[in-house]
């Protein structure tokens, strides 16, 4: 009898934990490539699960949280221009009552830097929001660190 109660409790706990899994539809990866003796490009890639989309950096007020990058000031580098993105998909989304621009499957953002030394570590955060046809997840801020050699 006591064994049956323990087994029953285990099944309930397993069921609860399976239902409460945290959704992580975006996986971020980072790389850098030197493009000259004192220049480099940072590559910030988002791999997006099927059915989800990640919003562009250029979403108007009143819409979803746009993807944004915050770079910490550090030794050995200076940012050159703004972070660039490829052309997004733009569609009307009823939930926001406006056209919004987003990416599906994957996207690579690029940031050019000027090296002021022989190498640098670029740190910062990316903030983004993702949605599918049924739900939007709260905005998330992810720290990153990219070594440039």
All domains of the chain in start order, with CATH: 24-148 (2.60.40.1250)
**Res 13: pLDDT:** 38
**Res 21: pLDDT:** 66
CA 29, 146, 126, 108 dihedral sign is negative
Name the H helices within 41-118. none
Nearest to 145 by CA among 8, 42, 14: 42
Nearest to 53 by CA among 90, 7, 94, 17: 90
Nearest to 123 by CA among 147, 106, 92: 147
Which token pair is 83?
């972070």
Q: What is the pLDDT of residues 72-127, one digit of tens each?
A: 998 899 999 999 999 999 999 988 999 999 999 999 999 999 999 888 999 999 99
On whether the pTM is more than 0.95, the answer is: no
């Amino acid at each position: 009898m006591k064994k049956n109660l323990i087994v029953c409790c285990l099944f309930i706990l397993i069921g609860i934990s399976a239902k409460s899994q945290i959704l992580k539809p975006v996986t971020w990866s980072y790389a850098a490539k030197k493009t000259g003796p004192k220049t480099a490009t940072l590559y910030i890639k988002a791999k997006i699960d099927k059915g989800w989309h990640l919003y562009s950096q250029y979403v108007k007020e009143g819409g979803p949280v746009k993807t944004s990058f915050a770079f910490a000031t550090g030794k050995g580098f200076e940012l050159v221009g703004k972070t660039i993105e490829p052309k997004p998909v733009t569609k009307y989304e009823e939930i926001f009552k406006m056209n919004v621009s987003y990416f599906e499957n994957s996207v690579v953002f690029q940031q050019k830097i000027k090296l002021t030394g022989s190498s640098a570590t670029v740190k910062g955060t990316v903030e983004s929001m993702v949605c599918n046809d049924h739900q939007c997840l709260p905005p998330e801020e992810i720290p990153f660190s990219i070594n440039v050699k």
